[in-house]
Amino acid sequence: MAVGYDVEKWKYLRRVLERAGPFTDKDSFDASMVKEALKDVKILVIGAGGLGCEILKNLALTGFKNIDVIDMDTIDVSNLNRQFLFRSSDVGQPKATCAANFIKSRVPDVNITPHFCAIQDKDIDFYMSFNSIICGLDSVEARRWINATLVNMVDWNNPDTCKPLIDGGTEGFKGQSRVILPKMTSCYECSLDMLTPRQAVPICTLATIPRQPAHCIEWASILEWPRVKGDLKMDTDDPEHITWLYTTALKRAQEFGIEGVTYTLTQGVVKNIIPAIASTNAIIAASCCNEAFKLATNTAPFLNNYMMYTGNEAVYTYTFEHERKENCPVCGEQNEPTNVTIRKDVKLGEWIEELKARADIQLKRPSLMGLGKSLYVQQPPQLEEKTRPNLEKLVSELVGNGEEVAVSDSALPFSLRLRVLYE
């Protein structure tokens, strides 16, 4: 029983670990194994910012022993008010590393491994090595990436490839936490249309009649930067670039008699910074970590599957089951690739004829593309001409074993995915 939960500080944790509660699912709760399970669970925290600091602290203090944290950012002085694992002396250092060191110094029996890089830099094997993933991100793009990656990893021959994703998010006084079981419950992509689109200002308003300080800043970044700086890529983390945008926007604001352009606002507009409130982060992170704990231990039923927290108009929380979207481009069943086995000596043209003859897919004029490769595209004529020579090539020269081919056709309301396997 020497798994490290016997000491006094885990006394209250032991109460939930050692006996089932009224809502515990008796079939999946096993008091003899649960401590072992919690000790062995390997969890990945994505983001070591406002939510990330809370999440890491909570996990370490609820008995998780193996934690990895990944974040590509370095610490900015403006983070220090709420990202409490960092000190002024850490400014400029990687968030992941500093957060890991701090946790390690306070909770020494936790194995915590930092990764100072983008999530896209890690491969499938990396994500496969965790039992669960918690996200405390501020970017839709990163969420979509990790969601799609985890969904694509699922292989029903091996249930361990289904990695629960717990996603937390906050904006001011509002937030949400959700549990995504890839391919089993609705995924992040399924709910994408719930996002309020960012209100874009017509580009002609920016160019001619700015009315707000933000219009002047957008004008500076969207129109003036490329005009003056040419191909130089804008880096929103570079203080010199922000300063240039700020002074350019300020001049414009003065021309139009607009007040309120500041350096901070400039940073806020170009980086699309949303106000972060420490206590909202704490609420959402607490919910996420409780879900992680329940998933790992089966001590109580976990969230099914979406909890929204609305603190901006008094307090209102609502939990509901967000349903899967049938035609979700990431987890929808119709987007599941169909395996097709073909001979190595079949030419692309012959294969297309074979596909057209298949009664189960009913194609008329199919266009085929591989991963970043045009195989045969019938429309527009310029692409048809350029891809026509491929018809004489062997499919095996063009598509790797296991690679996907996307088929579009006027007869198909969606795109068909085929996964090519060779005999």
Partner 1 sequence: MLKIWHMKQKQVAADAAEGPAKRRVTAAQLRAQKDITEISLPSTMKMDFPDPDDILNFTLTIEPDEGLYRGGSFEFTFAIGSQFPHEPPKVKCKQKIYHPNIDIEGNVCLNILREDWKPVLNLNAVIVGLQYLFLEPNPLDPLNKEAAEDLKNSKDMFARNVRSSMQGGYVRSERFDDVRKR
Which residues within the stretch 327-386 sit at the binding site for partner 1 (CB under 8 A)?
329-330, 337, 367, 369-374, 377-380, 382-383, 386
CB of 416 to partner 1, least distance (A): 10
Half-sphere exposure of 218 (CA within 13 A, CB side): 19
CB of 279 to partner 1, least distance (A): 31
Among 111, 158, 254, 338, binds partner 1 (CB under 8 A): 158
How many Å apart are CA 316 and CA 321, to the nearest integer? 17
How many Å apart are CA 145 and CA 148, to the nearest integer? 5
Which residues within the stretch 17-46 sit at the binding site for partner 1 (CB under 8 A)?
27-28, 30, 33, 36-37, 40-41
Contacts of 24 (CB under 8 A, 6+ apart): 298, 299, 300
Kindly name the residue from 135, 204, 289, 328 that is annotated as catalytic.
Answer: 204
DSSP β-bridge partners for residue 133:
44, 165
How many Å apart are CA 293 and CA 174, to the nearest integer? 23
Binding piece for partner 1, criterion CB under 8 A, among 43-51, 154-162, 285-293, 318-326: 154-162
**Which residue, 141 or 423, is less far from partner 1 as judged by CB?**
141
Among 47, 63, 136, 164, binds partner 1 (CB under 8 A): 164
Query: Is the Cβ–Cβ distance between 88 and 80 less than 8 Å?
Result: yes
How many Å apart are CA 151 and CA 162, to the nearest integer? 8
CB of 200 to partner 1, least distance (A): 4
Contacts of 196 (CB under 8 A, 6+ apart): none
Query: Is the Cβ–Cβ distance between 276 and 170 less than 8 Å?
Result: yes
Contacts of 139 (CB under 8 A, 6+ apart): none
Contacts of 278 (CB under 8 A, 6+ apart): 50, 81, 82
Which residue's structure tokens are 């020497």?
A: 2
Among 157, 196, 314, 359, binds partner 1 (CB under 8 A): 157
Largest Cα–Cα separation, the chain: 75
**Which residue, 162 or 278, is less far from partner 1 as judged by CB?**
162
The 171-190 contact track toward partner 1, x by CB under 8 A, reads ----------x--x----x-
Is 204 one of the annotated active-site residues of the chain?
yes
Residue 323 DSSP code? P
How many Å apart are CA 149 and CA 155, to the nearest integer? 12
Number of residues that make up the chain: 423
For the chain, the first-to-last Cα distance in angstroms comes to: 51
- Quick check: 404 binds partner 1 (CB under 8 A)? yes
The 222-241 contact track toward partner 1, x by CB under 8 A, reads xx--xx--------------
**Which residue, 221 or 281, is less far from partner 1 as judged by CB?**
221
CB of 336 to partner 1, least distance (A): 11
How many Å apart are CA 247 and CA 74, to the nearest integer? 25
CB of 141 to partner 1, least distance (A): 6
CB of 33 to partner 1, least distance (A): 6
Which residues within the stretch 301-320 sit at the binding site for partner 1 (CB under 8 A)?
302
CB of 75 to partner 1, least distance (A): 28
Which residues within the stretch 94-153 sit at the binding site for partner 1 (CB under 8 A)?
124, 131, 141, 144, 148, 152
Which residues within the stretch 279-298 sit at the binding site for partner 1 (CB under 8 A)?
295-296, 298
Binding piece for partner 1, criterion CB under 8 A, among 1-9, 46-54, 73-81, 221-229: 221-229
Token duo for residue 376? 């045969």
DSSP β-bridge partners for residue 174:
171, 310
Among 23, 208, 240, 313, binds partner 1 (CB under 8 A): 208
Total of chain residues touching partner 1, rule CB under 8 A: 74
DSSP, residue by residue, 153-199: H-BTTBGGG---EEEEEEETTEEEEEEE-TTTS--TGGGGGGSPPP-
Binding piece for partner 1, criterion CB under 8 A, among 87-95, 219-227, 253-261, 283-291: 219-227
Q: Would you name the residues annotated as active-site residues? A: 204
